[in-house]
Amino acid sequence: MRVQEAQRITNLPPYLFAEVDRQIARARERGVDVISLGIGDPDFPTPAHVVARLKEAAEDPANHRYPSYEGLRAYRAAVASWYKRRFDVDLDPDTEVVSLIGSKEGIAHIPWCFIDPGDLALVPDPGYPVYATAVLLAGGDPFPMRLRPETGWLPDLDAIPRDVRAKAKLMFINYPNNPTAAAVDGTGFFESVVEFARANSIIVCHDAAYSEITFDGYVAPSFLQVPGAKEVGIEFHSLSKTYNMTGWRIGWAAGRREVIEALGRLKTNLDSGIFQPVQYAAIAALETPPEHFGQVLPAYARRREKVVAALNRLGWNLEPPKGTFYVWAPVPKGYSSIEFSRHVLDKAGVFVTPGIGYGSAGEGYFRISVTIDDARLEEAISRLEEAGVGFS
């Protein structure tokens, strides 16, 4: 029997990090002790009080049944309280917050709510691959907003053609940024996005997954802090990076109530919500004292500085980024990003992510994640130096 894929799947590229896993697995099968600096998965444990709250809630049989489709109101209220404390943003937990099975799930589903075949969505290039693939799955066309170092890796809104603006329904933005680690100073850029979105009737989707991973006194703003932001869009957030909960799969979207309602309506038709003990644990996470960040952020900052210093010794000229746990750097002359990634893997047994995986504008760059313990990171740096990997 011949199996005929749906067109939406045929047009779907392989997911970057699934391919990363396969490349690393193949190298390990050859006996290579691979040190992966690829995927941004925190190596620190989830805070103990969060795990304890999960255990307590899981022992209650009342939590073994179907959860609420909308998510526990207590969880959504905790999200609203966190926004008030952190950004002085007021949110109605009943109408302006929706629980997600990780922010990736919400990002992947939001185009289904607003994109019809022939519609466009503005996506950053380079950018998190899910923005573009989600638009493709919904039958729309992603229009790349090229990010360049000359503009601080911010999109040039004025360069977006008028006919594209007329057809665009969504715009994805992400700061602090994956993969470039770029950050916005103040809310000026967000203010220009609100104005642009209002003028062109575009829904803004800001991915704020890295807002709490910042260094050197930098404090990331929320898109929702900007006057008028809740009129034009929503913000996605996740507990994954902030509280070392990548495997727990819980996050939220917040903002314009009509957009939140549409996303929630779609979700009630697709999933059955989040296991309630995970939601109770997430409430505990959102109430985590500042001491948690006093341990984790200095470790990321120290590792970031080690990587930047090592690359600069090898010929690069990089500045430590203000946010995320990534370092984004150009590949040496004569290499594509995939060729350089393979070169580093072959010569040093170290995996770095090729920039082309984040879009065509990512070609010529690679990304390093510092979510690896200090000893292995030091070994990776030593291997790069011993292998003579350099920027020349």
Q: Give the count of beta carbons closer than 10 Å to the beta carbon of residue 363.
A: 16
The whole-model pTM stands at 0.96
Separation CA 279–CA 257 (nearest Å): 22
Return d(Cα 205, Cα 217) in angstroms, integer.
26
Q: Which of 58, 27, 105, 75 is nearest to 264 (CA)?
A: 105
How far is it, in rounded angstroms, from Cα 28 to Cα 390? 24
Residues 189-198: what's their mean pLDDT? Answer: 98
d(CA 171, CA 151): 18
Residue 12 has pLDDT above 80, yes or no: no
The pLDDT of residue 15 is above 80 = no
Q: Which of 14, 39, 13 is nearest to 24 (CA)?
A: 39
- Mean pLDDT, residues 329-341: 95
Return the pLDDT at 7.
Answer: 82
As a whole number of angstroms, the distance between CA 33 and CA 97 comes to 44
Type of residue at 37: L
Phi-psi region of 226 (alpha: psi -120 to 50; beta: other; left: phi over 0): beta
357-368: pLDDT as tens digits: 999 999 999 999
For residue 368 the two structure tokens come to: 């390093």
Nearest alpha-carbon partner for 217 in 323, 74, 309, 346: 323
What is 165-222 written as a DSSP string?
Answer: HHHEEEEEE-SS-TTT----STTHHHHHHHHHHHHHT-EEEEE-TTTT-B-TT--PPP
Q: What is the CB neighbour count within 10 angstroms for residue 16? A: 21
The residues pairing with 124 across neighbouring beta strands, listed in sequence order, are: 145
Cα atoms in the Cβ-side hemisphere of radius 13 Å centred on 10? 5
pLDDT at 273 over 80: yes
Residue-wise pLDDT for 218-241, tens only, equals: 999 999 999 999 999 999 999 999
Element (H, E) at 330: strand 326-330
Which band of pLDDT confidence, cut at 50, 70 and 90, is reported for residue 187? very high
Q: Is the pLDDT of residue 28 over 90?
A: no
Residues in contact with 187: Cβ distance below 8 Å, sequence separation at least 6, in sequence order: 221, 225, 226
CATH code of the domain made up of 7-45+291-386: 3.90.1150.10
Q: What is the mean pLDDT of residues 53-60?
A: 98
What DSSP character marks residue 227? T
Task: Give tens-digit pLDDT for 66-125.
Answer: 998 788 999 999 999 999 999 999 999 999 999 999 999 999 999 999 999 999 999 999
Q: What is the CATH code of the structural domain delimited by 64-286? A: 3.40.640.10
Matching residue, tokens 């948690």: 292
The model's confidence at residue 43, banded by pLDDT at 50, 70 and 90, is very high
**Mean predicted confidence (pLDDT) in 172-181:** 98
CB 195 within 8 A of CB 158: no
64-286 has the same fold as 7-45+291-386: no
> Which pLDDT score is estimated for 5?
87
Give the pLDDT confidence score for residue 153 in this predicted structure. 98
pLDDT for 13 equals 74
**Phi, psi (rounded to 5 degrees) for 97:** -135, 135
pLDDT surpasses 80 at 36: yes
Q: What does the domain layout of the chain look like in residue ranges?
A: 7-45+291-386, 64-286
Cβ neighbours, 10 Å, residue 36: 23
> pLDDT above 70 covers what percent of the chain?
99
- pLDDT the model gives residue 385: 95
At residue 1 the predicted structure's pLDDT band, cuts being 50, 70 and 90, is confident
Q: Of 268, 299, 288, whose CA–CA distance to 42 is shortest?
A: 299
Residue 256 pLDDT grade (very low, low, confident, very high; cuts 50, 70, 90) = very high
Strands in 7-154 per DSSP E = 35-36, 97-100, 120-125, 141-146
Band the pLDDT of 4: cuts 50, 70, 90: confident
